[in-house]
Amino acid sequence: SYELTQPPSVSVSPGQTARITCSGDALPKQYAYWYQQKPGQAPVLVIYKDSERPSGIPERFSGSSSGTTVTLTISGVQAEDEADYYCQSADSSDTYVVFGGGTKLTVL
């Protein structure tokens, strides 16, 4: 079955830049999406179609794609950005949805 691979954890100091990667063989052909989930809360879409930002999401959140890897970048990280982040995409047949395992972002 198709898998998306994320690092389990990323740590960064306030004001620095956090980069969270997501790798998958179908990513050159399928868009990726990113969700932020804080404890006890429902996930929130922060990036869609690799690099588009929904309304209401701060500009410090951005996304990029290169080959089989997509990256969520948070510039000028704030304490409130501490959360779990999940990438999501589809398999090469565009039939099945898949989530990455999630990355816990810790703001030191």
Partner 1 sequence: EVQLVESGGALVQPGRSLRLSCTTSGFTFGDYAMNWVRQAPGKGLEWVGFIRSKAYGGTTEYAASVKGRFTISRDDSKSIAYLQMNSLKTEDTAVYSCTRAYYDLGYYFDNWGQGTLVTVSS
Q: Which of 74, 88, 105, 107 binds partner 1 (CB under 8 A)?
A: 88
Q: Which of 61, 72, 77, 86 binds partner 1 (CB under 8 A)?
A: 86
Query: Is 87 in contact with 33 (CB distance < 8 Å)?
Result: yes
Which of the 8 DSSP states describes residue 47? E
Site map (CB under 8 A) of partner 1, residues 48-67, x = contact: xx----x-------------
Task: Confirm or reject binding of residue 16 to partner 1 (CB under 8 A).
Answer: no
Task: Confirm or reject binding of residue 98 to partner 1 (CB under 8 A).
Answer: yes
What 3-state class would DSSP assign to 4? coil
Which tokens go with 79?
């304490």
Task: Confirm or reject binding of residue 1 to partner 1 (CB under 8 A).
Answer: yes
Task: Confirm or reject binding of residue 3 to partner 1 (CB under 8 A).
Answer: no
Distant-in-sequence, close-in-space partners of 37: CB < 8 Å, separation ≥ 6: 43, 44, 83, 84, 85, 86, 102
Task: Confirm or reject binding of residue 44 to partner 1 (CB under 8 A).
Answer: yes
